[in-house]
């Protein structure tokens, strides 16, 4: 392993430790595991979901997620309800208490928010491109669950515009945007198929416009 890999991994580890510590602050969240917090956060951001979908999103086995959900149900933070799209299936939803806890947890720690806000637009853009590359590589290797990123979305049109500040285009909202506003957890993201994902990524990295 190169010195660069070691130092970058160490820096990311320090940020991860900071975020984990922030999760445990406050009486309402100090007794929750990271996976339990992940479930509450996912439900807070995306609404009710089935156990299988939560397991896939958080990269855990279905059996493990079932246990996590059962614990949260016992604690009164989530409840099971009928899925309106399929009356035979159940989905998981936040209770009022769970919504309060999730809203408290699903905030960027103030210190990190200040640090990110101090970055210039170009620095944020470069940072997001780097994060996208790392996350995508880990996804391909099967090390992490798929993320709802712009760069794997069927609506993403890389380098579709001549404006260097906003070269990309989102076909979902029909708006141009730049690297600084790339999303990593978009509720409207729809995964492109494998061939299109490769093409999108290749054009994104190379700076070439979409075909046609």
Q: What are 163-204's pLDDT values in tens digits?
A: 989 999 999 999 999 999 999 989 899 999 999 999 999 999
Question: Is the same domain home to 139 and 198?
Answer: yes
Alpha-carbon distance of 90 to 48, in angstroms, equals 10
Phi and psi at residue 83, to the nearest 5°: -80, 120
Question: Is the same domain home to 97 and 20?
Answer: yes
Residues in the chain: 212
In 3D space, the residue among 103, 113, 105, 119 whose CA is nearest the CA of residue 29 turns out to be: 105
Alpha-carbon distance of 26 to 41, in angstroms, equals 16
Asked if residue 212 belongs to a domain, the reply is: no
Q: Which of 54, 76, 105 is a domain's end point? A: 105
Question: Is the same domain home to 37 and 94?
Answer: yes
Question: Is the same domain home to 129 and 182?
Answer: yes
**Mean pLDDT in residue range 144-149:** 85
| Distant-in-sequence, close-in-space partners of 204: CB < 8 Å, separation ≥ 6 | 151, 156, 158, 159, 168
Q: What pLDDT sits at residue 142?
A: 84
Tokens of 194: 């494998």
pLDDT digits (tens, 9 = 90+) for 69-124: 999 999 999 999 998 888 788 999 999 999 999 988 778 888 899 999 999 999 99
Q: List, in sequence order, every residue forming a beta bridge with 80; answer none if it has no partner.
A: 92
Question: Is the same domain home to 81 and 126?
Answer: no
In 3D space, the residue among 151, 140, 145 whose CA is nearest the CA of residue 183 turns out to be: 151
What mean pLDDT, rounded, does the chain reach? 89
Question: Is the same domain home to 81 and 145?
Answer: no
Alpha-carbon distance of 35 to 119, in angstroms, equals 30
CATH number, domain of 68, equals 1.10.10.10
Q: What pLDDT sits at residue 22?
A: 72
Question: Is the same domain home to 123 and 99?
Answer: no
pLDDT band at 143 (very low <50, low <70, confident <90, very high): confident
Question: Is the same domain home to 98 and 137?
Answer: no
Inter-residue contact 132 to 181 (CB < 8 Å) = no
pLDDT band at 27 (very low <50, low <70, confident <90, very high): very low
Domain holding 94, by residue range, is: 3-105
Q: What pLDDT sits at residue 70?
A: 96
Asked if residue 160 belongs to a domain, the reply is: yes
Tokens of 143: 């090390």
Domain count, the chain: 2
Burial label, 15 (beta-carbon count in 10 A; 0-12, 13-18, 19+): exposed
Q: Residue 48 above 90 pLDDT?
A: yes
Question: Is the same domain home to 31 and 72?
Answer: yes
Alpha-carbon distance of 75 to 98, in angstroms, equals 9
**Mean pLDDT in residue range 25-49:** 80
Q: Which of 105, 131, 159 is a domain's end point? A: 105
């Amino acid at each position: 392993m190169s010195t660069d890999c070691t130092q970058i991994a160490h820096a990311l580890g320090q940020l991860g430790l900071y975020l984990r510590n922030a999760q445990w602050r406050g009486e309402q969240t100090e007794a929750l595991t990271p996976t339990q917090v992940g479930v509450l956060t996912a439900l807070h951001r995306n609404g009710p979901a089935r156990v299988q979908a939560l397991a896939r999103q958080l990269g855990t086995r279905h059996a493990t997620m079932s246990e996590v959900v059962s614990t949260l149900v016992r604690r009164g933070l989530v409840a099971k309800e009928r899925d309106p799209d399929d009356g035979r299936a159940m989905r998981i939803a936040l209770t009022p208490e769970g919504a309060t806890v999730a809203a408290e947890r699903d905030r960027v720690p103030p210190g990190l928010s200040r640090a990110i806000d101090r970055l210039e637009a170009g620095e944020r853009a470069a940072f997001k491109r780097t994060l996208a590359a790392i996350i995508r590589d880990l996804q391909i290797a099967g090390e992490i669950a798929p993320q709802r990123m712009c760069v794997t979305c069927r609506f993403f049109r890389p380098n579709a515009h001549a404006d260097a500040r906003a070269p990309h285009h989102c076909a979902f909202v029909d708006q141009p945007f730049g690297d600084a506003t790339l999303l990593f957890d978009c509720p409207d993201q729809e995964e492109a198929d494998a061939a299109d994902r490769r093409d999108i990524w290749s054009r994104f990295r190379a700076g070439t416009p979409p075909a046609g």
